Amino acid sequence: MIDFSKFEKKVNVNFKDKNLLKQAFIHRSYLNENPKVGIHHNERLEFLGDAVLELITTNYLYKNYPDKNEGDLTSYRAALVNAVTLSMVSEKLGMNDFLLLSKGESKDIGKARQDILANTFESFLGALYLDQGYEKSNDFVEEFLFPEMKEILEKGSWRDAKSVFQEKAQEHFGITPVYKVLSESGPDHDKRFTVGVFLSKELIVDGSGKSKQEAEQKAAEGALKKKGWLK
């Protein structure tokens, strides 16, 4: 039996509706094996939490970065609320220990678990918004998500490396980069892709990730460093 009060203590929140808190952690797959649980899965809460998160994040960025244009603010927001960042924060909060999953899903790691954790962050926020309102939701995001902004800015991870590398490649050589999968490894639920980025027929560098898109971004980041095109 999962004791959700431990999570409440960890994030300093006391839910009025304990079922709402539990629902935030119920994955659809769990209900297939436990149909009599009497509580719906968390997808509707995730839908709500996604919208609440976007408003809170947009408001924060608008107030704290007055000299940035719409394009930069949009990139900052995308870096803050993407699956990689949200799943990382969820792991830090120990959300893994409270997930209610099917036996099959509970064995999944890698990209599948990353997505589940990111979605759970949003569903918890949706539940918190319903139970305690906007201010408490804002406090939660401010305390646990916004500190990641410092590292995002330091690493420049808010910049879309593929777009930047394409601009630079066209500027310097008049060539559009091409990305090719060089290898795949691991079981279906935990694949790892290695992708090479080419200028004409020249392999510049390769990158690895849990999806082709992630591997392409890693390759583009590596190519920018190798060419000395980082700002």
pLDDT surpasses 90 at 230: no
Q: Which fold has domain 161-227?
A: Double Stranded RNA Binding Domain (3.30.160)
Q: What's residue 223's pLDDT?
A: 93
For 195-215, what is the mean pLDDT? 92
Least confident of 2-6, 39-43, 102-106, 130-134: 102-106
For 24-52, what is the mean pLDDT? 93
For 168-172, what is the mean pLDDT? 91
Question: Is 50 among the catalytic positions?
Answer: yes
* Burial category of 89 from C-beta neighbours within 10 Å (exposed 0-12, middle 13-18, buried 19 and up): buried
pLDDT surpasses 90 at 217: no
Q: Does the domain spanning 5-155 belong to CATH 1.10.1520.10?
A: yes
Per-residue confidence band for 160, with pLDDT thresholds at 50, 70 and 90: confident
Per-residue confidence band for 104, with pLDDT thresholds at 50, 70 and 90: confident
Catalytic residue among 8, 43, 50, 160: 50
Tell me the H-state helices in the chain. Answer: 5-11, 18-23, 28-33, 43-64, 70-81, 83-92, 103-107, 111-132, 134-144, 148-155, 161-173, 212-227
Per-residue confidence band for 110, with pLDDT thresholds at 50, 70 and 90: low
For 58-69, what is the mean pLDDT? 96
Question: Is 221 among the catalytic positions?
Answer: no
DSSP state of 97: G
Catalytic residue among 46, 122, 216, 221: 122
Cβ contacts of 175 within 8 Å, gap of 6 or more? 169, 199, 200
Q: What's residue 107's pLDDT?
A: 72
Report domain extents, the chain: 5-155, 161-227
